[in-house]
Amino acid sequence: MEFLQHIDLLFVMSGFVVGAVVGLTGVGGGSLMTPILILVFGVHPAAAVGTDLLYASVTKTGGSLIHGLNRTIHWPLVARLALGSVPAALLTLLALQHYAGETAALGAMISRALGFALILTAATLIFRRWLVASYAERLAALGEKRIGMLTTMTGAALGLLVTLSSVGAGALGVTALLLLYPKTPVARIVGSDIAHAVPLTLIAGAGHLMMGHIDVAMLASLLLGSIPGIMLASNLAPRLPESVLRYALSTILVVVSAKLLA
């Protein structure tokens, strides 16, 4: 009963809506959850990002377990990504510590990073097929060693972006892997991206927790709503036109990014 006293129904409803969108589109919750917390509820950007990172680590752990059981995770690929993302996340957290006493400056920096990440995500949703069709084969011809280096560099970019904004581990990560590994089945690409997101979001989220950027009650409320939202929407997704959902979400992300960057 004491636990229920800390549950906020508005956060539960927000979690349900974001979970439903994730279930329908497959796009990471950070693209919507973090902006909602900042723009709708007035949560400080650092607290919004930190809370969403731990939220993502919990939800993606469940997804990773399922992909692991289905053997749709390419572990060497996950290791190459983590080789870049984990150090980048740790270095980003160290940099953020310098803004510990500058709340306004920290909030402004995170808002700009989030706006930039949302624009990239929207562009990825719109142009993913064109990018893969135009560049995947060219990149694949670079050779295994260079592909490995580019994978680690991709991980580093994701580590920086995810730690700053909580956005990037989903749509951006999958698109980059589709470009670098066009012959790998999509299910293994998605599974590997989700598996890589678990340690990345956990490390980044733990760093934000140590800096006091986490609202545990808010996190619990969001999870309470998002889990049934994802389950319900996942069953509806096959009946809805994917292209309409993708373009609608892209439009929302552009509008939100413009608000954050204004």
Residues of the chain with pLDDT under 70: 1-6, 23-28, 233-245
Return the pLDDT at 91: 96
Return the pLDDT at 253: 82
The CA–CA distances, whole Å, from 61 to 68, 161, 194, 200, 202 equal 10, 20, 8, 11, 10
Give the three-state DSSP class for 53: helix
User: What gap in Å lies between CA 168 and CA 192, rounded to an integer?
Assistant: 14
CB 196, CB 155: distance < 8 Å: yes
Cβ count within 10 A of residue 245: 17
Return the pLDDT at 81: 97
Return the pLDDT at 236: 63
CB 168, CB 118: distance < 8 Å: no
Return the pLDDT at 143: 84
CA angle 200, 72, 239 (to 5 degrees): 100
CB 147, CB 140: distance < 8 Å: yes
Residue boundaries of the structural domains of the chain: 4-261
C-alpha count within 13 angstroms, C-beta hemisphere, residue 220: 9
